[in-house]
Structure 1
Amino acid sequence: MRLLLSAPVLAVFAVFSVLAFAPNDAYAAPKADLWPDWQAYDPDSTIRIDHAKWQAVLDRFVAEPEPGVTTFDYQAALDDRANGIDLVAGYVADMVLVQVSALNRAQQMAYWINLYNALTVKVVLDHYPVVSIRDIDISPGLFSLGLFSSGPWGKKLITVEGRTLSLDDIEHRILRPIWDDARIHYAVNCASVGCPALAKQAYDARQLEDQLDRAATGFINHPRAIHSDGDGGFVISSLYNWYREDFGARDAQFVAHLFTYAGAELTALLDGIGRFDVSDDVYDWALNAPKP
């Protein structure tokens, strides 16, 4: 997607360098740290992974109450076991048998995103009812610190090609460092209201670019990503604080990232200011279940 910059946008860039927002180290997320073994792939591979089971789960239990927001009906997925929790478990069981190193890069990316999202749903279902995914405190370590010390992300949950993996491993040791694509943050779902939406369609290697763009567009144009604080500044999602470097090494690159996917309303809001001043960052960890 080509980025076209208007004069007001360039003016925003000019002042943004002195208005940078620094991540709070106490709440820093894990860094991208490549595990080299997972770099193996076959560029000539024509193997296609079947994500039909995951799609069937999404079709039945994911709803879109408003643009850019989805919910997952965990209670219904438990009540309807055959089409819910058992089908999720069956899909995960199928995926761990895949020889990932024999796939091409696009198939690998779709595989890891879908597996991450299905595994997240399975973890919640295995511990439901919970108010927040952070209540599922199964990660190892008695004295780990920081925002992500509680929750399931550090727990080894599956074994793929002989390697045990956690959700953190999939996101921070495979997806982020191999693809170096900020849109990954909009594709992987953490089962929370503040998170980018769980996509209603399974990620497909043949449609990845369009799907990733739609995920970015859906989140960025919703107020939980960025909104005015009513006093000339902006409140942004903590996602942009935790993973600050992924959205641009320089501050102007972060603003460019927003403009790349901004719709008319957000573009007008950003164009209409003389400076981009971040006053706060927020995140809602409540479970992404339907409201009663």
Structure 2
Amino acid sequence: MLKALTASLILFSFTAFSAPKSELWAYWNSSNEANLQNVSHQSWQAFLDKYLVVEGDNTLVRYVRVSPNDKQQLKSYLSELAAIDPRTLNKAEQYAYWVNLYNAITVDLILDNYPVKSITKLGGLFSFGPWGDDVITITGQTLTLNDIEHRILRPIWNDPRTHYAVNCASLGCPNLQPQAFTSNNTEALLEQAASTFINSNKGANINGDKATLSSIYDWFAEDFEAQGGVIAHIAKYSPKLTGFAGKIDYDYDWALNKK
């Protein structure tokens, strides 16, 4: 009976999953455009250089090979970011700060719980993943991953390409980029990430009059409306969906992006 109840709760959590809305946390919506400070993301870049590998459509993380020292270095990097008040930075520097913070926290969560088959197994018994858990405190404000993505990045920048920047440690997610984001490379990385994802089978797979798109385009369809909708956005990076009027299904692979 207990096993059946547990299985039902897990199934409920999965089927009831819905993406959070974009809702601004106004506290973070300020900047100092005159500030030319560059936040160092060298520690994060060193981690990516050492443990990220490319296989087909995916970038994978060698979680099993991360040394105790490098795990500690990652935590130290997160502590360094947490000691910064991002509101004092200019907006371009802020964007890189939040994206790298989100991705590094996600990897750190997996490392703390490895081995695990999927990030959705983390969090409380009634949770679908760790996104609602408190993960870091900045300027006295405790944040979750949902806060960073849906209350800061999405509503402040209103750029649907943010969905290609943040990584949820899953095969179905747009790839963790091999380069740390900086104020100088953000635009190039966003364009590269968008094009790579859309032109992979996990982004948009066309078979005759049927298309299977990533569930991202279902969950966050409203984010693409300003660009004419999901199909128009995809067609900007690949002509395969230009004028597509067939049947569309959505799919997402929650398996861990491990090597």
TM-score scaled by length of structure 2: 0.90
CA distance in 2, matches of 1:181, 1:281: 22
For 2:223, the equivalent position in structure 1 comes to 246
CA distance in 2, matches of 1:34, 1:279: 31
- Which has the bigger relative contact order, CA under 8 A and spacing at least 6? 1
For 2:12, the equivalent position in structure 1 comes to none
The 5-angstrom pairing of residues 10-25 of structure 1 reads none
The partner residue of 2:202 within 197, 213, 224 is 224
Unaligned runs of 5+ in 2: 1-14
1:123 correspondence with 2:112? no
CA distance in 2, matches of 1:163, 1:115: 15
Shift of 1:88: 1.2
The 5-angstrom pairing of residues 111-260 of structure 1 reads 111-138=97-124, 142=126, 149-228=127-206, 230-248=207-225, 252-260=228-236
1:82 correspondence with 2:60? no
Q: What SS does the corresponding residue of 2:53 show, helix, strand or coil?
A: strand
Aligned partner of 1:153: which letter? Answer: W
CA distance in 2, matches of 1:99, 1:160: 7
For 1:107, the equivalent position in structure 2 comes to 93
Verify the 8 A CA contact 2:221 2:229 in the aligned structure 1: no
For 1:17, the equivalent position in structure 2 comes to none
Verify the 8 A CA contact 1:110 1:203 in the aligned structure 2: yes
Corresponding residue pairs, total: 245
Unaligned runs of 5+ in 1: 1-24, 143-148
TM-score scaled by length of structure 1: 0.80
RMSD: 1.7
For 2:54, the equivalent position in structure 1 comes to 64
Aligned partner of 2:225: which letter? Answer: G
Pair 275,58 (structure 1): closer, same or farther in 2 beyond 3 Å = closer
CA distance in 1, matches of 2:72, 2:97: 19
CA distance in 2, matches of 1:69, 1:129: 19
Moved over 3 A (4+): none
1:43 correspondence with 2:29? no
Residues 256-283 of structure 1, C-alpha deviations (whole Å, 9 max, x = no match): 2112222xxxx2x335xx6422331100
Pair 231,221 (structure 1): closer, same or farther in 2 beyond 3 Å = closer
CA distance in 2, matches of 1:51, 1:59: 12
CA distance in 2, matches of 1:275, 1:236: 12
Verify the 8 A CA contact 1:132 1:192 in the aligned structure 2: yes
Aligned partner of 2:200: which letter? Answer: H
Verify the 8 A CA contact 1:189 1:197 in the aligned structure 2: yes
